[in-house]
Chain A
Amino acid sequence: MQNYRRKYEDCLRRVQKPARYIGNEFGSVHKEKTDDMMTFAFCFPDVYEVGMSHLGMKILYHMLNERDDTICERVFAPWDDMEQEMRKNGIPLLSMESCSPVGGFDIVGFTLQYEMSYSNVVNMLDLAGIPLRTSERGSGDPFICCGGPCAYHAEPLAELVDFFILGEGEEVNGEIMDVYKEWRGSGKDRDEFLMSLVGLGGIYVPKFYDVEYNDDNTIKRFEPNRPGVPKQVRKRIITDFDNCYAPEKLVVPFMETVHDRIMLEIFRGCIRGCRFCQAGYIYRPVRERSVKRLTGIAENCIRNTGYEEMSLSSLSTSDYTQRQDLIDDLLDITVDKRINLSLPSLRVDNFSMELMEKIQKVKKSGLTFAPEAGTQRLRDVINKNVLESDLIRTSKIAFGGGYNRIKLYFMLGLPTETYDDVLGIAELAKKVIDEGFFTIPPEKRKGRSVSITVSTSFFVPKPFTPFQWEPQDLISEMEAKAKYLKENIRSKKIVYNWHNSDISLLEAVFAKGDRRLGEVLITAHSLGCKFDGWSDFFDYDKWIEAFKANNIDPAFYANRRIGYDEILPWDYADIGVPKSFFIKEHKRAYEGKTTPDCREKCSGCGAASFGGGVCFE
């Protein structure tokens, strides 16, 4: 082990950003390993500065380390230069804290935040020297598990992963360690451990299910292959979110990370039900933390980290019911200490002048709004309750208040979209300038000029949304729409940029794919695919080669309209919202009918069965 450390240290001399690999940050947890301790390698399948920006990892890392019987260490994907050094010098994937080989841990857990990190999961297993397929692993190998939002539809990883954790790790991870403790040394085999996990609920073990296919490649049968395994695994969530664990000590990185600040999680879930948004359904129901608890956490985090910035984290910050009180209380504890408070994810419709002035007291940055679609018709289809008049009114307030940069996010390729809807994006952006800025009398304008950035991404139909049955636009259609939009944006004050279309296709394939894609992943890895979320690495041609080599047509997954009665590869997961609700919502979308948010009126989505949150407010 010491051996690796010396070689590893020396590699760092030859790589960019060596601070990615040094560990020993303030707040990192270093425990003495004794024989009776269990070890958990918490892997983030992306580079350090991305992984360290992720709140979920911080929570679970500290929570597992609070146990006396468990050591949890962090692992990140080494950047390409470091990977090459490691492979050249025979160094396997190592953990941050003790520089221990990941293959020697008891449990290796990956968090799956986005589909495009799957190739990194494969690469990290390979670099760790862990056999890639579950069927190839034996008694000397660790158990590989995955959690995070993609775990609800991670069939493409079914051949590689021993078990998936469905739901919130805070609720389940401790129990997993308890089961492991019992199992270890009991002489029982690996399957018996996995069977005990199944008993906890919220654990999906893909090898305990058999899948058969029809001639047209759709799924014929998806059934448990042994007694005691449920047909559907129900997610596990925290019902008492106000009193659940929240870390008050954090690891403070040396290098700048993507979100280099305290992230205060004010609630989980979202009351809205935007029909394209998976997060809006899988985290149901909304559960809030109280102002009192939040200020307590904030005070401790400030004391324990020394961070100069704090942001409120949630899917839609301005939906927090006690937002005025919370912001007042937080400003009380941050202003004197020169700590910036930033509020992301503001919604247009309930954005108030007062709220904005309060933030301004501390920091004024650009504002971001996400109308998602350019016309009211299409916004109704996707259930994004943003009115044009709201957006213009808010822009006016913002421009009048001294903001001079507004970013607008849209999606291209949404179900039912026409070229009029695409044109609507250009028109809406223009109106924000004409009516939001030019109607302000020149003497009252702060700042000489304003700019609008319009960003579009391509719609990716996601499992557990009303649009899960929808086909994605073909790449040619996506590009034609982006081009059309570009031609129709003529103002110099509007900047337009759009995301890559190839990658959106891959995202759709892996979001909706089945377990036959496991071999595609393995082939893609052998062709050198990794860091697919990074444009410097993403190589579409290699992926196409990998699909061809395995005789798989990506269009089958991405561009096909799926029937309501088809068995879906993610039917194994029960997120609390049944398919019938999504069918109802899908039909309403086509009728252009909106659905009220949870606080306006409950639409009976099913999530009330968890017995907490907004459903009982």
Chain B
Amino acid sequence: MSKRRLAFSKLNMAKYISHLDLLRCFTRAIMRAELPVVYSQGFNPHQKMTFSLPLSVGVTSSREFADIEFEDGISDSDIMKRLNLTLPPDIRILSVGAPEISANDIFAAEYEVTILSDSHCAELPDACKKFFAQPEVAIIKRTKKKGEQELNLMDFVESAEGFRECGDDARFSLTLSAGGQKNLKPEIAVEALIDHLSSQTDIKITGYNIHRTKILYDKNEPKEFN
């Protein structure tokens, strides 16, 4: 019996698969692959599976992580090969191995944000940059535990950089606090930006894309989680 960490991508329309649906999707893919998986004890046994860091619905990702317990005698490469045959096309296993880093050490996640526009506007990247240069932006955060809270967005922004044009769109890299200690969903930051752009500028925004590029651990010496 051993726990394996599966790195996988979640792309295209799969971004709209919720956490619960993803869990079910993996469970069924493992059944189809006939992999020897460990079940929990108790009245309603289920596969032992945890995701390292939840991903918001509507966000794609290059590299997500699921820890799943398998019976002995199945190799990492077999798990990867067989699951890639039984997972839906927009979810791909990238690697399988023993988990070394604890998900508790995660402190941030990096996103590539694209602000969509129908018409070209050279100022768009700069306008985004200026937004993140502000010392304080009030946001409302809703949690089940604490209800509605007004917070400063900038307390959650680790970095915002690489503002550039991309066709008519603007693109940049945004690193936000993530994990058990302090966490902000990226869409809250991006929607605050879009609110700002539509109220403070004439630029017409048609939508946005958010893509998680990496998860970071160890705040003192940030490294890519794996």
Interfacial residues, chain A to chain B (CB-CB below 8 A): 6, 9-10, 12-13, 18-19, 21-26, 252, 254-256, 302-308, 337-338
Contact = CB atoms under 8 A, between A and B. Distances in A.
A305 B18 CA distance: 20
B116 A338 contact: no
Contacts of A9: 13
Nearest to B90: A24
B29 A26 contact: yes
Given A10-B116, A18-B57, A22-B14, A305 B28 contact: yes
6 contacts: A18-B58, A26-B88, A254-B22, A256-B21, A305-B32, A308-B27
Give the 10 A-B residue pairs with the shortest CB-CB distance, closest first.
A306-B28, A306-B31, A22-B13, A10-B207, A18-B16, A306-B32, A26-B88, A254-B21, A22-B16, A254-B17
A252 B12 CA distance: 18
Contact of B32 (A21, A24, A304): A304
Interface of B: 12-14, 16-18, 21-22, 24-25, 27-32, 34, 39, 45, 57-58, 86-90, 116, 206-207
Contacts of B88: 24-26, 254
A19 B16 contact: yes
Contact of B25 (A13, A18, A254): A254
Contacts of B206: 10
A12 B208 CA distance: 12
Nearest to A303: B32
Contact of A24 (B12, B21, B116): B12
A26 B86 contact: yes
A18 B18 CA distance: 9
Contacts of B25: 26, 254
A383 to B, nearest CB: 42
B39 A255 contact: no
Contacts of A24: 12-14, 88-90
A307 B86 CA distance: 13
B13 A23 contact: yes
A26 B28 contact: yes
A302 B39 CA distance: 18
B127 to A, nearest CB: 20
Contact of A252 (B18, B22, B28): B28
Nearest to A10: B207
A337 B58 contact: no
Given A26-B29, A254-B24, 4 more contacts: A19-B18, A26-B88, A254-B22, A255-B21
A10 B27 CA distance: 28
Contacts of B21: 19, 254-256
A306 B58 contact: no
A521 to B, nearest CB: 33
A166 B21 CA distance: 38
A308 B31 CA distance: 9
A338 to B, nearest CB: 7
A78 to B, nearest CB: 14
Nearest to B33: A306
A23 to B, nearest CB: 7
A22 B207 contact: no
A18 B17 CA distance: 8
Given A10-B207, A23-B13, A254-B25, A306 B18 contact: no
A18 B32 CA distance: 25
A210 B29 CA distance: 54
A518 to B, nearest CB: 37
B6 to A, nearest CB: 16
B54 to A, nearest CB: 16
A21 B15 CA distance: 12
Q: Among B16, B21, B30, B45, which residue has the most Cβ atoms of chain A within 10 A?
A: B16
Contacts of A255: 18, 21
Nearest to B34: A303
A13 B24 CA distance: 22
Contacts of B207: 10, 13
Q: Among A13, A307, A337, which residue has the most Cβ atoms of chain B within 10 A?
A: A13
Nearest to B13: A22
Given A24-B88, A26-B88, A254-B21, A306 B30 contact: yes
Contacts of A12: 16, 58
Contacts of A22: 13-14, 16-17
Contacts of A252: 28
Contacts of A305: 28, 32
B61 to A, nearest CB: 15
Q: Among A255, A304, A307, which residue has the most Cβ atoms of chain B within 10 A?
A: A255
A255 B16 CA distance: 10
Contacts of B32: 26, 303-306
Nearest to B31: A306
Contacts of B89: 24
A159 to B, nearest CB: 37
A252 B86 CA distance: 11
Contacts of B87: 26
A13 B57 CA distance: 9
A66 to B, nearest CB: 20
A19 B31 contact: no
B93 to A, nearest CB: 14
A21 B87 CA distance: 19
A13 B207 CA distance: 9
Nearest to B89: A24
A10 B209 CA distance: 9
A307 B45 contact: no
A337 B32 CA distance: 11
Contact of A306 (B27, B90, B116): B27
A10 B86 CA distance: 28
Nearest to A30: B89
